[in-house]
Amino acid sequence: MCEIIEKQIERYETMLREMWTASAKYLGAFSVNLLVERVVWEISMDYKEIELLQYDENGISCAGIAACLKKNPDTPVDDMFTKFITRYVEILARLLGHEKTEIIKKRLNEEFGRIPFYSKEE
């Protein structure tokens, strides 16, 4: 797999772990697991590769997606993860409220900056 794609996947995995940790503070690990399951289900309609995202109450891993990309490097990784993260934040805003979601979005923007985090609620 191309080193650039590997770095992208690592970066997104770090971002998803940060989102998981921040969300679990407010919702609990079980609820975050359900949230991720919902988002995976929705995004998988456009990107089947997202079904390879590994998650449970202990966290999240992109190892399955990384393995798939070795066979199919043409997958639009940025678009897939952007849609995943955007949808996650939209649902999170409804669950936690705007104020707590803004804290999470601000932290993610500070660390990862490139992805516009927004919700339909704004």
pLDDT in tens, 41-95: 999 999 999 999 999 888 899 999 998 888 888 888 889 999 999 899 888 888 8
Residue 35: closest CA among 94, 79, 77, 78: 94
**Contact present, 69 and 75 (Cβ < 8 Å):** yes
SS3 call for 115 = coil
What global pTM score does this model have?
Answer: 0.80
